[in-house]
Amino acid sequence: MTGVPASAAGGSSGAPGAPGSAATPGAARDSGSHGSGAQDERPVRGGKIAAAAVNQASLWNVANLLTMLRLLLVPGFVALMLAGGGYDPAWRSLAWAAFAIAMITDLFDGHLARTYNLVTDFGKIADPIADKAIMGAALICLSGLGDLPWWVTIVILAREVGITLMRFVVIRYGVIPASRGGKLKTLTQGVAVGMYVLALTGWLATARFWVMAAAVVLTVVTGLDYVRQAIVLRRQGIAERAAVSEETEA
């Protein structure tokens, strides 16, 4: 639609008897060769508007929709987790299903965004928030119900929030990529929390303790590794800026 007014304006300016039809031959030649300033500017403005419309529409891509779904699952998960006093096996099973769906969408939305070039500013901000929200809600509910020690919840959440904030602080120097250890940590956390959400007994209840212990160890170890990477990245960034500044002054 943005190209129509430009075309109409071009057509009317050359029409006999229309206002402005007594243009100079030079202007007529410019109009015919698409060299006039007005005609050059209008398609550019239209192009920017069209590009903005595409970017706005891309907000509703499948990756972002999965992230939104995960955000919507958080209050639903909490309601299911606390229903029936928080200890009803049936409600806990439904809560586990909601948690499992959230974890599965977490695996797919980032992959889809990178593979099909669906990365948006909304996704960059909302995706980590959704991840922390569902995991934090599960841990807090479990500790509130007495199923999980509070120190475990505090250690995991402090690490997750701290590393996320640290990434934003050092992003001026570069991006800290997700490591294999970090991905293994996320998987182990999801399995451990999912096992605690279910009302397990017997050897499964014992097994979930050890899975959670492994998750806590991976949480701390990978967190320290990310801190090390951030320090190295910051030092490299400062050194590179200093070198560029010296070259500029020279």
Average pLDDT over residues 103-125: 79
Q: Give burial (CB, 10 Å; 0-12/13-18/19+) of 73.
A: buried
Q: What is the mean pLDDT of the chain?
A: 79
Q: What is the reported pLDDT for 24?
A: 41
Q: How far is CA 128 from CA 48, 92, 115, 132, 246, in A?
A: 30, 25, 18, 6, 38
Q: What is the reported pLDDT for 21?
A: 41
Q: What is the reported pLDDT for 58?
A: 64
Outline where 116-179 has alpha helix (H): 121-144, 150-170
Is it the case that residue 57 has pLDDT exceeding 80? Answer: no
Is it the case that residue 192 has pLDDT exceeding 90? Answer: yes
pLDDT digits (tens, 9 = 90+) for 134-178: 999 999 999 999 999 999 999 999 999 999 889 888 888 887 877
Query: Which pTM was predicted?
Result: 0.71
141 against 50, higher pLDDT:
141
List the structure tokens of 113: 């965004």
Average pLDDT over residues 230-244: 89
Is it the case that residue 241 has pLDDT exceeding 60? Answer: yes
